[in-house]
């Protein structure tokens, strides 16, 4: 039977991370409360984060890197610690249970080294030229990245990708557009996926897509559009366009034609990180609801004594325990090598985690009544975030398709 006790070094890592937040993040938040908490001040008229906010985020990344936290889960080939999926899940759960939703600077403390920042797995196959020029700045949080895969007509159906890279002397010429790209309005560099073998891609066969390293300020790159979602007036998502962008051969990430393989490696790790964040935020929400139910009175009694409120609290706890167990088992399988790629289990954690967090936030808002509808307690912010997580890194429908496909192939063990 798997041992679910937390080793002392992992517990120390969790405590170090939370102590860093107390020491470095909270004072900055307190000093800049209006700027960070009020979207009217956090974003400019275009919906972009103001320069002052971007500088605060950069400051946290630098301090986190100095404390040895920022690249904990990056690949050792890139200078990371690669501590594994189990401690990664535990740290992310603890971090977001501590922070709750909507804490702008918390996102920059520890990266799972997935898509938008830090030591992304896509960078494992950087050329030596790129490594020597950029790796140090990435690892210390000085520069940021974006993962440019999704397009307007190529989200769930990645085979519908239209962005093209054509061979030219000494490199490639990139044309096309990407949409819904996290960090696109702010990134210094883009990891761009483009079709380089249209025939293979048309046949939906591997080998048709290549990954490229593209400076965001390169001639022909446009990234001014911000795409706010779920009621926000600004945000992190953006539109990228590439108009005859020249990319030398040294800026190809990995081998030509292997872009989708690199993308899937990063996305799968991202799904686990989303599951851990959903777990931590759901635990945070349940704590708020339980505390409220224990003290709020109606009809002469605490609302926690009412059967319907108790049922909602119990359902939240059941959901949270289910995800906690799933996530721990998945991380153990991946770290022990007993589950291979654990394709169906990763999809199960992503779909269950994102939908579970929606359920928990919805119930907790109901328990708090009118107070839950305001954003004073931030439950409303958490509901909007958790609802959005049912879309990226593979929609709930795509996750269910993946799970069913694996089952039909004979992958019946858990």
The pLDDT value given to residue 166: 97
Query: Among candidates 284, 185, 281, which has minimal Cα distance to 236?
Result: 185
Q: Report the C-alpha dihedral over residues 284, 286, 290, 293, rounded to 10 degrees.
A: 120
The pLDDT value given to residue 255: 93
What architecture is the 261-408 domain classified under in CATH? Up-down Bundle (1.20)
Question: Which of 102-106, 261-265, 309-313 has the lowest average pLDDT?
Answer: 261-265
The DSSP H or E segment spanning 302 is strand 301-302
Cα separation, 175 vs 212, in Å, equals: 12
The alpha carbon of residue 301 and the mean position of all alpha carbons in its chain are separated, in whole angstroms, by: 42
Residue for token digits 């609801």?
289
For the chain, the domains span 8-139, 145-258, 261-408
pLDDT digits (tens, 9 = 90+) for 332-349: 999 998 878 899 999 999
The DSSP H or E segment spanning 177 is strand 171-182
Question: Which of 265-269, 276-280, 309-313, 401-405 has the lowest average pLDDT?
Answer: 265-269
The pLDDT value given to residue 334: 92
Residue for token digits 């954003």?
375
pLDDT > 70? residue 1: no
The pLDDT value given to residue 270: 86
pLDDT > 80? residue 235: yes
Q: Report strand pairing: 164-168 vs 171-182.
A: antiparallel
pLDDT digits (tens, 9 = 90+) for 167-211: 999 999 999 999 999 999 999 999 999 999 999 999 999 899 999
Do 13 and 207 touch, CB atoms closer than 8 A? no
pLDDT > 80? residue 214: yes
pLDDT > 70? residue 114: no
Cα separation, 382 vs 302, in Å, equals: 25
pLDDT > 90? residue 124: no
User: Domain 145-258, what fold?
Assistant: Butyryl-CoA Dehydrogenase, subunit A; domain 2 (2.40.110)
The pLDDT value given to residue 348: 97
Cα separation, 255 vs 124, in Å, equals: 12
The mean per-residue pLDDT over the stretch 57-75 comes to 92
The chain-wide mean pLDDT, for the chain, equals 94
The percentage of the chain sitting over the pLDDT mark of 70, rounded to a whole number, equals 99
pLDDT digits (tens, 9 = 90+) for 356-371: 999 999 999 999 999 9
pLDDT > 80? residue 42: yes
Query: Among candidates 172, 174, 179, 147, which has minimal Cα distance to 163?
Result: 174
Q: How confident is the model at residue 24 (pLDDT cuts 50, 70, 90)?
A: very high
The pLDDT value given to residue 266: 79
């Amino acid at each position: 039977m798997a041992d679910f006790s937390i080793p002392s070094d992992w517990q120390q890592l969790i405590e170090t991370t939370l102590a860093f937040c107390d020491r470095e993040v909270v004072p900055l938040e307190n000093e800049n409360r209006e700027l960070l908490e009020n979207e009217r001040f956090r974003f400019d008229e275009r919906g972009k984060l103001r320069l002052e906010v971007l500088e605060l985020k950069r400051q946290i990344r630098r301090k986190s890197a100095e404390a040895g936290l920022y690249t904990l889960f990056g690949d050792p080939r890139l200078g990371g610690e690669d501590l594994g999926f189990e401690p990664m899940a535990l740290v992310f759960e603890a971090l977001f249970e501590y922070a709750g939703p909507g804490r702008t600077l918390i996102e920059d403390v520890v990266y799972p080294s997935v898509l938008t920042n830090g030591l992304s797995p896509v960078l494992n196959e950087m050329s030596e030229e790129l490594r020597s020029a950029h790796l140090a700045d990435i690892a210390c949080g000085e520069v940021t990245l974006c993962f440019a895969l999704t397009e307007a007509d190529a989200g769930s159906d990645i085979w519908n990708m239209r962005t093209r890279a054509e061979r030219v002397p000494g490199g490639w010429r990139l044309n096309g557009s990407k949409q819904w790209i996290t960090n696109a309005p702010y990134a210094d560099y883009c990891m761009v996926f483009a079709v380089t073998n249209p025939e293979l891609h048309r046949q939906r066969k591997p080998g048709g897509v290549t990954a490229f390293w593209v400076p965001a300020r390169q001639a022909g790159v446009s990234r001014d559009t911000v795409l706010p979602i779920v009621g926000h007036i600004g945000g992190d998502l953006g539109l990228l366009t590439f108009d005859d962008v020249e990319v030398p051969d040294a800026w190809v990430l990995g081998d030509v034609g292997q872009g989708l393989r690199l993308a899937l490696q990063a996305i799968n790790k991202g799904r686990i990180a989303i599951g851990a964040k959903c777990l931590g935020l759901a635990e945070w929400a349940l704590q708020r609801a339980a505390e409220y139910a224990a003290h709020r009175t109606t009809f002469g009694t605490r609302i926690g004594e009412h059967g319907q409120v108790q049922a909602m609290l119990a359902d939240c706890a059941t959901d949270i325990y289910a995800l906690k167990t799933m996530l721990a088992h998945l991380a153990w399988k991946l770290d022990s090598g007993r589950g291979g790629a654990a394709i169906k289990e990763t999809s199960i954690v992503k779909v269950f985690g994102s939908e579970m967090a929606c359920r928990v936030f919805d119930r907790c808002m109901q328990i708090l009544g009118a107070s839950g509808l305001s954003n004073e307690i931030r439950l409303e912010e958490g509901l909007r975030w958790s609802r959005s997580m049912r879309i990226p890194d593979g929609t709930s429908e795509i996750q269910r398709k993946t799970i069913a496909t694996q089952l039909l192939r004979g992958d019946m063990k858990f």
